[in-house]
Amino acid sequence: MERRRKPLSNDIDVTFYRTETSNAHTGRTAEEIRRIDALIYRYQKKKKRRRIFRLVLLLMVLTALYMFYKSNVRPPELADDLRLEQNVGTEENDRAAPSLSVNGSLRKDAFYTFVIVGMDDDNGNTDTIIIGALDVKNKKLNMVSIPRDTLVNVPWNPRKANTLLMHSDDGLDGFMRRLKDLTGFVPDSYFIVNLQAFVSLVDEIGGIEFDVPIDMDYEDPEQDLFIHIKAGLQPLDGEKALKVIRFRSGYPTQDIGRIETQQNLLKALAKKCLRLDNWDKIDDFAQIFRDNVETDLDLGIIIWYGRQIMRLKQEDIIFHTVPENYNDWVSGRSYCTILLDEWLEMINATINPFKEDIVIADVDILTRDENKNLYATTGIIACE
């Protein structure tokens, strides 16, 4: 008697039959069935080889993609010329400690600096300047806001920090050098942010809860800007959060009150972004930055920054404001004049990328002395 055929599958060998009988069910001879089974067996074997080849090919592609990803998601390269030349000119500078050399070995380990610039849609001036320092080793992110009206030593009027980008020679390069005058170092990288980046980021995480500090009412039809927001804790989507960021006319302390609100809103945004349920959005956050931010960094470095920041706790992200006399007047204009000693102390405690302190000789700051007279730390006040 012949044996019954076992059901064929992709993983079971065919069943062979006795040669002396024919198959009563199919009407085929045993020889015909053997030939059919042999064809099926060869097909299955070829299919297995094909499947193994595809699996190996897939593994090779995935390995290549992983290696590409690992090689591109990386920290930024640290420049060796952050300090440029020493600022000189006054006896006080001559007595000060000399500037550090540009040797990169004098930098702190895993310490990265950057500047975030928010643009003002109105006239090309900057709306926000924040110097940031990411200390990977100690898991800290310090952010220092420079008020728009900060007095700077430049040969144009008004001498305000928010004019630095628009009026500096050589565009961004000139702007970065001007920041060195204020901080004693050139930031490693820059982020020029348009308004849509902030809107998209807030919307990506589903909005934020924020306690608006004051009633906000302002209209400017020329900018298509209409702000009417009541004070109090409330949910904000991207557009509404942007209006809170932009509002500046109703604070008793003017721009300083606005900076405080901006910093508190950014803290609320960071708190929401750092939640575990948003960790899978790192690549989405990076894409928002890529689409809406002008930077000298590529996507891999932006993703690296995002990953480092996502590892921080909320309390590890600390905001500061340059210590200044926020109610000064120079030549009939309102300015904020830097309190030099306090500012140098803040720089060295928060954003200085070097192992040694930044000193007066490293900066070019226009401010007031103990007798309330204007002077430049270099001894030279820039002329128009």
Average pLDDT on 295-301 reads 85
- 76-93: average pLDDT: 51
Cβ of 340: how many Cβ atoms within 10 Å? 17
Alpha carbon separation from 197 to 2, 322, 346 (Å, rounded): 76, 25, 29
pLDDT digits (tens, 9 = 90+) for 127-168: 899 999 999 999 999 999 999 999 999 999 999 999 999 998
Report the alpha-carbon distance of residue 128 to residue 190 in Å, rounded.
Answer: 13
pLDDT at 175 over 90: yes
CA distance 4 to 36: 15
| Mean pLDDT value across residues 9-15 | 44
Return the amino acid letter for 120.
D
**What tokens appear for 158 in the block?**
């008004």
What distance in Å separates the CA atoms of residue 104 and residue 113, rounded to the nearest whole number? 14
Please name the residue that has the structure tokens 């009417």: 228
Cβ atoms of residues 323 and 150 within 8 Å: no
Q: Is the pLDDT of residue 95 over 50?
A: no
Cα(363)–Cα(360) distance, rounded to whole angstroms?
A: 6
Instruction: Name the CATH topology of 107-149+159-324+344-352.
Output: Aminopeptidase (3.40.630)
Give mean pLDDT, residues 197-225.
92
Q: pTM value?
A: 0.74
pLDDT digits (tens, 9 = 90+) for 274-284: 886 877 887 78
Strand order in the sheet with 126-135: 293-295, 189-193, 111-119, 126-135, 140-146, 317-321
- Least Cα distance to 203 among 242, 247, 245 occurs for 242
Are the beta carbons of 23 and 2 closer than 8 angstroms? yes
Going by pLDDT thresholds of 50, 70 and 90, the confidence category of residue 5 is: very low
- Give exposure, 131-155, as e/b (b: 16+ Cβ within 10 Å): bbbbbbeeebbbbbbbbbbbbbbbe
- Predicted confidence at residue 86, as pLDDT, reads 45
Q: Compute the average pLDDT of residues 292-300.
A: 86
Higher pLDDT, 184 or 314: 184
Tell me which H or E stretch contains 319: strand 317-321
Q: Is the pLDDT of residue 15 over 50?
A: no
Mean pLDDT of 114-118: 95
Residue 13 has pLDDT above 60, yes or no: no
Question: Looking at residues 106-125, what average pLDDT do you find?
Answer: 86
Rounded to whole angstroms, the Cα distance separating 297 from 269 reads 23
Please tell me what DSSP assigns to residue 124: S
| pLDDT over threshold 60, residue 340 | yes
- Rounded to an integer, the average pLDDT of 237-261 is 89
Domain ranges of the chain: 107-149+159-324+344-352
pLDDT of amino acid 25: 56
Mean pLDDT of 278-306: 83
Q: Rounded mean pLDDT of 204-227?
A: 92
